């Protein structure tokens, strides 16, 4: 199976964790060692993993860096036939006295739009509320994002340290998102916290990110399957952060067998040192070189994407492959 030539999509990919090394070096005006951007094979935890975001975030503090970062990101993913991307980032991490939330979102949108025109990659922007930010900050970001809903922005996410900041603390943000008509995905269960996975279901999330802890509760798995909630799994990242230790512990097949709409995604292309081709190839090799499995994962991504128009587009692209 030629996965590299297969038209693909990625629903869970962070912009700051996926800036190219060349773009970072251009923007910072200096050479950067690869190990400063990409975790090693012996990464010990999510905390160590998150340290790799320091340099990329320095490149996203002005409009030029935001736009260039988004554009070069699209250029890079197009090389491996990723033809639809839902890229997520936290606007408030770039806001300061010289840069407003509106300017931040607009700059990323401009870069993505240029990339779409030059490389024929459809996109949606998922704005991230941060668990370590105040409710006031997150609600202010959401109000600006609402202005771009359908004009680049496609959804809301909640990201950050799950163990320190339980999802239940952010119910008001999701109530407001629902009032605004903004769909949402929520990082849930990456660090083993089942309560956050249950909370995401109760809040009406369309998808969750990672979702590893869901495997602890068969009844909740049934509820996810019945509700059609997508689970955005990111194998390489999940092993690097020690969310799981072995493929035998990885619940991808378990979730699929339960009827859950699982997709496979990159999470952070640069920090994890991965691509969509690599993620799908790993699944292909680990689960018996099953071509139907790969198409199931891709179709699940299409069915749970925030752009309803891509289903017909991808089915035409995959026809006859």
Catalytically annotated residues: 190
Return the structure tokens found at 18. 């996926």
* Element holding 25 (H helix, E strand): helix 21-28
Return the structure tokens found at 215. 């495997």
Give the whole-angstrom CA distance, residue 60 versus residue 75.
Answer: 17
Residues paired with 267 in a beta bridge: 13
Give the whole-angstrom CA distance, residue 92 versus residue 64.
Answer: 17
User: What angle (nearest 5°) sits at the alpha carbon of residue 57, between those of residues 55 and 58?
Assistant: 65
- Report strand pairing: 207-210 vs 185-188: parallel
Give the whole-angstrom CA distance, residue 125 versus residue 69.
Answer: 14
Give the whole-angstrom CA distance, residue 195 versus residue 188.
Answer: 9
């Amino acid at each position: 199976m030629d996965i590299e030539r297969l038209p693909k999509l990625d629903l869970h990919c962070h912009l700051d964790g996926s800036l190219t090394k060349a773009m970072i070096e251009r923007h910072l005006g200096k050479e950067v060692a690869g190990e400063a951007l990409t975790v090693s094979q012996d990464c010990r935890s999510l905390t160590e993993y998150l340290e790799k975001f320091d340099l990329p975030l320095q490149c996203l503090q002005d409009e030029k860096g935001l736009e260039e970062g988004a554009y070069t990101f699209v250029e890079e993913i197009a090389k491996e036939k990723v033809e639809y991307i839902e890229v997520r980032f936290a606007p408030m991490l770039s806001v300061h006295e010289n840069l407003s939330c509106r300017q931040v979102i607009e700059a990323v949108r401009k870069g993505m739009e240029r990339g779409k025109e030059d490389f024929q990659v459809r996109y949606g922007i998922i704005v991230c509320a941060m668990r370590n930010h105040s409710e006031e900050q997150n609600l202010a970001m959401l109000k600006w994002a609402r202005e771009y809903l359908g004009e680049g922005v496609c959804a809301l996410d909640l990201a950050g340290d799950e163990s320190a900041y339980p999802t239940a603390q952010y119910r008001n943000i999701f109530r407001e998102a629902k009032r605004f008509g903004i769909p949402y995905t929520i990082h849930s269960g990456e660090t083993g916290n089942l309560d956050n996975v249950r909370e995401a279901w109760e809040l009406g999330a369309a998808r969750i990110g990672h979702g590893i802890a869901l495997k602890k509760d068969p009844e909740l798995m049934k509820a996810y399957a019945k509700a059609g909630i997508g689970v955005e799994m990111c194998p390489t990242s999940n092993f690097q952060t020690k969310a799981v230790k072995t493929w035998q512990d990885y619940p991808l097949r378990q979730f699929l067998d339960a009827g859950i709409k699982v997709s496979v995604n990159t999470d952070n292309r640069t920090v994890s040192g991965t691509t969509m081709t690599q993620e799908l190839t790993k699944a292909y090799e680990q689960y018996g070189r099953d071509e139907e499995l790969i198409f199931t994962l891709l179709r699940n991504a299409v069915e749970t994407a925030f752009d309803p128009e891509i289903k017909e587009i991808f089915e035409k692209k995959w026809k006859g492959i």
